[in-house]
Amino acid sequence: AQRVTQPEKLLSVFKGAPVELKCNYSYSGSPELFWYVQYSRQRLQLLLRHISRESIKGFTADLNKGETSFHLKKPFAQEEDSAMYYCALGRNSGNTPLVFGKGTRLSVIA
């Protein structure tokens, strides 16, 4: 079965400090991984996907199949990064729904 684990419910960091939001997944096949973000009073939206290998708003995430992880990182946190972050897992074949983790609330303190 597919499963996503985000071990931290809340992560607080100071502005300018590095950020790492952890995500581990369980899936025996070839995974597709995503990070979605929900800012205060906004709807859930895609932040980045592993297949794109891009940096969005300074965030990057590398898929580590050996450790079954897809941690989200940013070298210098900004106050506007404060939000709920959800890691999501899909399969690369078939019409399968995304499985979401429970989310981590990032709070960046000025």
Partner 1 sequence: GAGVSQSPRYKVAKRGQDVALRCDPISGHVSLFWYQQALGQGPEFLTYFQNEAQLDKSGLPSDRFFAERPEGSVSTLKIQRTQQEDSAVYLCASSLVVGSNTGELFFGEGSRLTVL
- Is 59 a binding residue for partner 1 by CB under 8 A? The answer is no
Single out the residue of 65, 80, 74 nearest to residue 110, CA to CA.
80
Residue 93 C-beta: closest distance to partner 1, Å: 8
Binding mask 7-26 for partner 1 (x = CB under 8 A): --x-----------------
Query: How does DSSP assign 20-81, residue by residue?
Result: EE--EEE-SS-EEEEEEEE-TTS--EEEEEGGG---BTTBEE--BTTTTB--EEESS--GGG
By CB under 8 A, tell whether 103 contacts partner 1: yes
Instruction: Tell me, by CB under 8 A, how many residues bind partner 1.
Output: 26
**Is 45 a binder of partner 1 (CB under 8 A)?**
yes
The residue (of 9 and 110) whose beta carbon lies closer to partner 1 is 9
- Cα–Cα distance, 106 to 22 (Å, whole number): 11
Which residues of the chain form contacts with partner 1 (CB under 8 A)?
4, 6, 9, 32, 36, 43-46, 49, 51, 86, 90-103
